[in-house]
Amino acid sequence: MTTQTISSAEIYQGQFGEFTITDSDRQSVIIYRTGLMIAALCFAIGSGLVLFYPQPGAIQAITPLYTCFSLALGVSLLTIHIYMASLHRILQIFWVIGSISAFIFGHGDSQAFAITVYDQPLSILGIGFTFAALTGIFFKEGFCFNRLETKILTPIVPLLLLGHLTGILPTQAEQVLLGIWAIFFLVFAVRKIIQAIPPDIGDKSVFDYLKKQHLVKV
């Protein structure tokens, strides 16, 4: 039965040889996309609360939403397929730094997490690393799949964060950018869910080649 399954698997021609896609490969893509969808939903809900219902109770709810967003993003960063291992590690390190910063700001101030970040723009220097990792995903997806929404998201994320950090953006502009970010993040996540799985796995022969090159150097 196992032999039959292997022999009937579709064989792909990669840059450095042939390869097949396993169930494990497919599961990692599904987990990656699920993480993105959860992160996008949490971000959209939190943004909606900020923009349309900025009441104390709603603002407090942003804290668990952000936690869920961050954890889901972390799962996606663990399972994303990126040829450059060093870039993959950098994005993961960014997420760790951003998560630690968010934990410190979330527990080091008596105010709600969202209020702390808004009132103390310098907090962006810490939690901004999480969004730098997210921007890295947008850039990778835009480069690999030429997606319009990721080309919009890639500049919007740093523009909004740096604009708030430096205080050069008026509140209305920040709200518009946040709304665009939330909408296109959802569009991106939905399109990932319905996309064919093999393109997200990429050319496995490249991964094998790079792994062999690394072992030779070691």
Q: Which structural domain range is residue 82 located in?
A: 24-52+60-201
Assigned domain for 103 exists: yes
Assigned domain for 139 exists: yes
When pLDDT is cut at 50, 70 and 90, the band that residue 71 belongs to is: very high
What is the average pLDDT across 31-51?
Answer: 97
Reported as a single tens digit per residue, the pLDDT across 11-36 is: 766 566 566 778 888 899 999 999 99
Rounded CA gap, 218 and 212, in Å?
10
Assigned domain for 116 exists: yes
Assigned domain for 128 exists: yes
What is the average pLDDT across 183-192?
Answer: 97
Output the pLDDT for position 2: 37
**Are 206 and 85 in contact, with CB atoms under 8 Å apart?**
no
**Are 161 and 131 in contact, with CB atoms under 8 Å apart?**
yes
Task: Identify the top-confidence range among 6-15, 74-83, 125-134.
Answer: 125-134
Output the pLDDT for position 217: 61
**Are 88 and 80 in contact, with CB atoms under 8 Å apart?**
yes
Q: Is the pTM of this model over 0.85?
A: yes
**Are 160 and 169 in contact, with CB atoms under 8 Å apart?**
yes
Task: Identify the top-confidence range among 50-59, 127-136, 137-146.
Answer: 127-136
Token pair of 98 as six digits? 């951003």
Output the pLDDT for position 201: 80
Assigned domain for 158 exists: yes
Assigned domain for 120 exists: yes
Assigned domain for 152 exists: yes
What is the average pLDDT across 68-84?
Answer: 93
Assigned domain for 11 exists: no
Number of domains in the chain: 1
